[in-house]
Amino acid sequence: MLLLVVVAIAAAMSWNGLVGFGRDVLHLKDPWVYGVPVSLDVAAMLCGFLALRAVIAHDSAAGPRLLTFFLVTGSAGANYYHAMDPKNGGSTAAALYFGAMSILSWWLFDVVLRQIRRTMLRRIGAVERPLARFRAVRWLRFPRETFEAWSYSVRYGLTRPEEALAQVWQAKQIKEAEVLNELPPNITKADAVRLALSAVGGDVTAARDWLEERGMTVDRSYAYDVAKKVEKTGAPALGLAPVPPQIPATTPHTAASA
């Protein structure tokens, strides 16, 4: 309700300026003088509704939005010119104020339409999920790792930060496994299959061979089940469970030496 009140007041101020423009500059008389705000401000709002209707119908709204821009620009220019005219006791402050009222009334009205339009697009699945967000401390302390996680979230549409970080950590595990020619310690069989699928590009047979070379035998049916789950989630072949880097356990000997 508060937003509607503000929009109505801004629109009324723009209306008043356009009526003055029609009377003092265009020398129109009643009732024709009211055609100026109708042909500019009201027409701009009508174009906004047409844009919303186009979105609901899954059509392009570029035409109505472009026409709205030209109408609002004309309304702001007319208000500015009328308020700047010395014959009306105009000033720069008045010109800026009345010109801004045209833009403000349209902008606030467009905010409401944008919210409705975004809700409609979200219902039909035309809006991406929000990306993962990371704390400023992580960006400062681990800028490269955080950037890689953010890149994963952009590429695969990941929303949760731990999912994006899991991709980075498991990508590092793949590189370490390829260098050492062995699997990471304490890895589960499901994660091992995901790791192998990522390493060989998603081929199940090649993934089983990759695991056998590293000392793990996986049934064909189990490997295909994991691959189907990965394909169903639409995520990369890496597992989504957070797998932080392995930290060596502290032994009494190392503790004493430390």
Instruction: Please give the Cα distance from 81 to 166 (Å, whole number).
Output: 59
- Ramachandran category for residue 157: left, alpha or beta (phi over 0 → left; psi -120 to 50 → alpha): left
Instruction: Please give the Cα distance from 194 to 212 (Å, whole number).
Output: 14
Residues of the chain with pLDDT under 70: 88-90, 174, 176-182, 184-185, 232-258
Cis peptide before 31 (omega within 30 of 0): yes
Q: Are 237 and 170 in contact (CB under 8 A)?
A: no
pLDDT of residue 234: 52
Q: Which of 126, 40, 35, 42 shows the shortest CA–CA distance to 79?
A: 40
Whether this prediction's pTM lies above 0.75 is answered by no
